[in-house]
Chains A and B, each alone.
Chain A
């Protein structure tokens, strides 16, 4: 692959992912890091990409393992493990 941006786990989503990534990387360096943004501006690309990803997460049977991982280490807690002994 000639592109430096990584592929999606679902080949069907790779093009949408690349469109999103290029928008995001630009936004990250030029706006977010400079404290110039209060919203993620790539929402159009984002919705197209994640709709594709969600479909394939279910189709490829990854969704249940993901749900379990999310329960253990919630997104809301920045991925920290919930019930650590």
Chain B
């Protein structure tokens, strides 16, 4: 099993370390053809405007969308979740999201960096309740969801972790907190056991 990490911009290296800690193989993906032969894909945190523009300029957006629609499992954090969204509140002129995940998201919804926060969360990973420190950095907020989106975790009544088919998406950064439970759960999704 090999998991690709989108390596255009963002905290790529932190995800790589988590995959290694979880005993999973990884590779960095920067071009469309590198999406071949991977079993799962990580959309890291970073600047969603930058990543979105680069995906378009290097013709990766369409190929990536096809792959995900065809069933490529995806783990997305923060900016990655923004990129997957169907709709973005205020800011669709800056980003064209892939439009795969049935959520509406608001960028920087909690404020600026001064308002970034850490908070203990409980998340539901395939029926198991796990505790994780949610690290929210200039985080987006899922303001609406529909069509078969399962909510795996909430904060102040908004979903902060969702699952739809083989996609798991978070508005916080599991790569910045301790443990690899989220990555192990992703492995189970790839194997088809959840």
A binds B: no
Q: Which residues of B contact A (CB under 8 A)?
A: none
Q: Which residues of A contact B (CB under 8 A)?
A: none
